[in-house]
Amino acid sequence: MSSEIKSRVRCDIDLDAPGRQAGYLRAPLSRNTSGWGTVEIPIVSVKNGSGPRILFTGGVHGDEYEGQIAISRLARTLDPATVQGQVIMIPAVNMPAVMNDTRLSPVDNRDMNRCFPGNPRGTFSEMLAHFIDAIVLPHVDVSIDLHTCGHSGDAALSTNMHYVSDKAMREKTMAAAAAFGAPYNVVFWGVDEGATLTSAVERRGILSLGTELGGWGRVNVEGVRIADRGLQNIMRHFGLIVGEPETRQKDGAAATRHMMVRDQAGYSFAPSGGLFEPRNVVGDDCRAGAKL
């Protein structure tokens, strides 16, 4: 290592140790009532034998609950004796935003998912992003980051991924998405890319899969079910636990439907402020040019 500080965030578990390790990331946050205060962010590692290393993250945005619920549940229950490989779980990455029930961090008013690869000397969100990128990602082969649309919208229950240029990685990611087993998988072109966790994961050559499992700032019950099942399915798919992924859909379909957002034409932005009246619910079929 150079003389550059590696991170200001302290991790009190050993990410290389076998068995179940549960502890906290301790991120320094000086405030009026605590000059040397820290924010504690739970982290659990379950490792046994050799096999793929998977990272499950939730709560990068604080008002997105399904991933937080599913990853917390898995972190409490996953038995190392049943695992071949390693699962690192951080159910509430952006703890200040989680406690504040907001997308942005109340500490620095930043969207953590626009702060990657981060900066160890930067704002609180930048410091956290740097820790995830520089310290956690080198320990994993696969990153599954669970999101919903929070208060900013709604989404058909789906996984999502970039159309990564490397064909082999694209096919591996498509296969992982199919194994996750959400009703849809969206292969998308991003509006504002480069500073997301997904982009940071891809820059490191690691398989990246995201989700949108609800929205409107509430807990989507079916989204939680898909999240719980998806985490198990991913561990099965990569051979960490025994069994085949269960991908049957509620409507009887046997598998995930793959969709694609090819370019900017896939987006429609409001030209001005006002009251938005949706004419469809997420997942409805619609035609180009039709009133949404």
Helix (H, G, I), strand (E, B) or coil at 159: strand
Element (H, E) at 210: strand 207-212
Residue reference for tokens 């035609």: 287
Residue 64 or 66 having the CB closest to Zn ion: 64
The CA distances from residue 117 to 24, 126, 212, in Å, are 21, 8, 22
CA dist., res. 31 & res. 219, Å (int):
31
Residue reference for tokens 């962010």: 41
Residue 147 or 237 having the CB closest to Zn ion: 147
Residue 59 or 183 having the CB closest to Zn ion: 59
Binding segment for Zn ion among 21-29, 139-147, 254-262, 267-275 (CB under 5 A)?
A: 139-147
| Amino acid making up residue 277 | E
Element (H, E) at 223: helix 221-237
Q: Does 110 bind Zn ion (CB under 5 A)?
A: no
Bridge pairing between strands 142-147 and 184-188: unpaired
Q: Within 203-222, which residues bind Zn ion (CB under 5 A)?
A: none
Q: Which of 53, 61, 130, 162 binds Zn ion (CB under 5 A)?
A: 61
Q: How far is the CB of 5 from Zn ion (least distance, A)?
A: 28
Binding segment for Zn ion among 34-42, 57-65, 81-89, 156-164 (CB under 5 A)?
A: 57-65
Q: How far is the CB of 209 from Zn ion (least distance, A)?
A: 14
Q: How far is the CB of 147 from Zn ion (least distance, A)?
A: 3
Q: Within 154-183, which residues bind Zn ion (CB under 5 A)?
A: none
Q: Does 147 bind Zn ion (CB under 5 A)?
A: yes
CA dist., res. 167 & res. 155, Å (int):
27
Binding site for Zn ion (CB under 5 A): 61, 64, 147
